[in-house]
Amino acid sequence: MTADWTLVFKLRNNIPLEGDVELARRELCALTGTTVEPIDADALRTLSVQGWLLPKDVAIHREGTVGFRCQVDTPDLTRLFRRLSFCEQVLAIAPTADASVFRVLPIRLTRVQVVNGRACAVFIPFNAIAEWSDVVARRAKSPKDATALLDFLVDALVAPTPAELSHNVRTIIGAKQTTGHLFHGLHVYKAKFFPRMARAFINLCGGATVLDPFAGSGTALVEAAVMGAPSIGVDIDPLSVAIAQAKAQLLSDDGAVAEAIADVLGRLDASDKGQVSLFEIAETPVAYAITPQFLRHRIPEPELREVEADVAAVLRALRGLPACSPLHIALSDALSRKFKFRFLGLGYGRFSLSILPRRVRAMFVDNLHYLSRSLAVWQWLRAHTGVRPAPIRVLHGDARRLPLADASVDCIVTSPPYMPASSGRENYLKSKAYAMTALGLIAPDAVDALEAEQIGSVQRVGDSEDLPADARAVVEWMQGDPTRCVKAAATASYFVDLRASLREVHRVLKSGGKCAYVVARRHVFYRYQSREVVRIVESADITAQLAMQAGLRLLELVHVELQKQNTVARPRSLDAYYETIVLLQKGEA
């Protein structure tokens, strides 16, 4: 049979930018093994068998693209269901009337019918329902309410007349914020991947096993797991390792975490009612200092005492659970939200601090309720999609000396720290410090020492001598600029460290294996206060040059425009902002 199947892919409604559409196209080509043709809203309506594809609220993307279509011989429907990142519905039209070809798709998310002698199916891919499940988990009042809402949503979408969607359903599928699903929302984390982009990178690189050597909060690992690829994550920061491990644990949880949550909420409630003596501990000053030294003098005494008392009460309620359990991570998240850092000036560690009035203990309780609902929707997803996560291994280690054998991984998807260029970027660790000391991951006076080990730290010193010419030029320019010279050696070190990590990428990749190394496309240096642009550094080009020095083959630089998140953090932050996927390969394909 030759290319007799027709596939129509409808893009998610909330995809805001062209970059995503281009990534979607590339992903579809990779997954179908053929070229795909963009379609506009009119074409979608014409193709939509009996109006099955959601015709309302169609998001119009670049040049009117709302989806793609292609002809294929025999599609791997299971793979498409599990791996697609940007589509909310797929229409598959088989060449014959034999509808049994659709048996591989989950019944709950699929509608099948024979139309004009051809078997047709419309299905919701796993990632779309997973993203919506978090919107549901956030809106629902209880775990039961959350799963009932998911049932309602799916019934409406797979119903015979999906065009008539209720306001409730439209609000869920039109949500703009869909990045907290699959426990991605367990903990705030700066500079993390958009989950669907991490998926797309994994699809572009292919490969059976995935490594993220700068794993951070574990976004790529979680996505690899639900796509069916075993993954390994490495990070130098113990809190990142703990967050990623907690997410891995939640994905394979069999009900133990929900029980622990009920238990801990019960203990906190009992202490509130004075049934146990927890409150005494909560009111008693803690015997040990958990507040990092650099913060002590910045937090007013009453707040300091209140936070330390809350942390002590929560830790007491968590007693008996393994260290760094998902519930500990819920405490870490509450602490990370309580103190908001805004780094100032040229990035030498100066920051302003705002303290949320809401108590850590109350935020922790909110987190546990949200976690219960997230667990319930995850169990629903497992039951109705048949997806079983592949194993995740998270290691505390250094990307410059990976604890892995030569030629042991098929694909690498990662994003290293930013270069110490723009203000404040290198101080992320400081904003995690309170959570780390509260969880006992580091001593309150050890924050600076840990920061100094991180790639991108201003405390590091390196030599630019054998770096590529573009990298050397940046360092030399900084050396000659009175306001930047103190960061010149740190910037040289950053490039040297990045190259060391790329050498490790080369060492651990199997021959022919691919790597998506995701960096900011460029760094813009501004004159402090006047905000005049003084230099633009094409950092993605430099990364590509470092990768080639490390022995890797440059396949392509893919620039992806991202939405502005924060209009106050960066000077001129309304300028277009791009991340670049530096697509690399070890040896020949």
DSSP-assigned beta bridge partners for residue 584:
515, 554
d(CA 17, CA 34): 24
Token reading at 421: 């260029």
User: Other C-beta atoms within 10 Å of 438: how many?
Assistant: 26
Residue 339 in contact with ligand SAM, rule: CB under 6 A:
no
Near ligand SAM by CB under 6 A: residue from 9, 102, 123, 189 = 189
d(CA 52, CA 56): 11
Near ligand SAM by CB under 6 A: residue from 61, 118, 400, 523 = 400
Scanning 67-75, 230-238, 379-387, 468-476 for contacts with ligand SAM by CB under 6 A, the matching segment is 230-238
d(CA 74, CA 32): 9
> Smallest distance from the beta carbon of 512 to ligand SAM, in angstroms?
24
> Smallest distance from the beta carbon of 463 to ligand SAM, in angstroms?
18
Near ligand SAM by CB under 6 A: residue from 28, 137, 335, 399 = 399
> Smallest distance from the beta carbon of 552 to ligand SAM, in angstroms?
18
Scanning 4-12, 209-217, 307-315, 376-384 for contacts with ligand SAM by CB under 6 A, the matching segment is 209-217
The amino acid occupying position 61 is: H
Residue nearest to ligand SAM (CB): 216
Residue 234 in contact with ligand SAM, rule: CB under 6 A:
yes
Scanning 5-13, 24-32, 233-241, 440-448 for contacts with ligand SAM by CB under 6 A, the matching segment is 233-241
Near ligand SAM by CB under 6 A: residue from 192, 247, 338, 521 = 192
DSSP 398: B
Residue 544: which of 505, 588, 576 has the closest Cα? 505
In the block, tokens 């907690």 appear at: 246
Site string for ligand SAM, 406-435 (x = CB under 6 A): ---------xxx------------------
> Smallest distance from the beta carbon of 225 to ligand SAM, in angstroms?
14
DSSP-assigned beta bridge partners for residue 585:
514, 553
Q: What is the size of the binding site for ligand SAM (CB under 6 A)?
A: 21
Scanning 134-142, 283-291, 353-361, 392-400 for contacts with ligand SAM by CB under 6 A, the matching segment is 392-400
> Smallest distance from the beta carbon of 296 to ligand SAM, in angstroms?
24
The amino acid occupying position 329 is: I
Residue 513 in contact with ligand SAM, rule: CB under 6 A:
no
d(CA 98, CA 91): 16
DSSP 401: B
Residue 386: which of 109, 131, 148 has the closest Cα? 109
Q: Where are the alpha helices (DSSP H) in 509-565?
A: 539-549
Query: Toward ligand SAM, which CB reaches closer, 132 or 214?
Result: 214
- In order of 219, 242, 288, 331, the CA distances from 187 in angstroms are 11, 11, 25, 9
Query: Toward ligand SAM, which CB reaches closer, 153 or 221?
Result: 221
Is 344 in contact with 350 (CB distance < 8 Å)?
yes
Site for ligand SAM in 445-504 (CB under 6 A): 454-455
Near ligand SAM by CB under 6 A: residue from 236, 394, 441, 490 = 236
DSSP 566: -
3-state DSSP helix/strand/coil % of the chain, to nearest 5: 45, 20, 35
Residue 237 in contact with ligand SAM, rule: CB under 6 A:
yes
Query: Toward ligand SAM, which CB reaches closer, 88 or 223?
Result: 223
Near ligand SAM by CB under 6 A: residue from 52, 68, 102, 193 = 193
Near ligand SAM by CB under 6 A: residue from 106, 180, 185, 216 = 216
Residue 402 in contact with ligand SAM, rule: CB under 6 A:
no
DSSP 12: P
Q: What's the chain's length in residues? A: 589
Residue 183 in contact with ligand SAM, rule: CB under 6 A:
no
Strand (E) or helix (H) holding 315: helix 301-317
Near ligand SAM by CB under 6 A: residue from 85, 240, 385, 431 = 240
Residue 219 in contact with ligand SAM, rule: CB under 6 A:
yes
The SS3 call for residue 58 is: coil
Scanning 19-27, 144-152, 281-289, 396-404 for contacts with ligand SAM by CB under 6 A, the matching segment is 396-404
Query: Toward ligand SAM, which CB reaches closer, 189 or 341?
Result: 189
SS (H, E, C) 64-126: HCCEEEEEECCCCHHHHHHHCCCEEEEEEECCCCCHHHHHHCCHHHEEEEEECCEEEEEECCH
Query: Toward ligand SAM, which CB reaches closer, 367 or 454?
Result: 454
> Smallest distance from the beta carbon of 194 to ligand SAM, in angstroms?
9
Tell me the HSE value of 410 on the side-chain side, using a 13 A CA sphere: 13
Near ligand SAM by CB under 6 A: residue from 3, 97, 114, 191 = 191
Query: Measured in whole angstroms, how far is the alpha carbon of residue 549 from the centre of its chain?
Result: 29
Sheet bearing 37-39, strands edge to edge: 37-39, 67-72, 5-11, 87-93, 118-123, 110-115
Scanning 44-52, 213-221, 363-371, 502-510 for contacts with ligand SAM by CB under 6 A, the matching segment is 213-221
> Smallest distance from the beta carbon of 532 to ligand SAM, in angstroms?
28
Binding site for ligand SAM (CB under 6 A): 189, 191-193, 214, 216-217, 219, 234-237, 240, 398-400, 415-417, 454-455
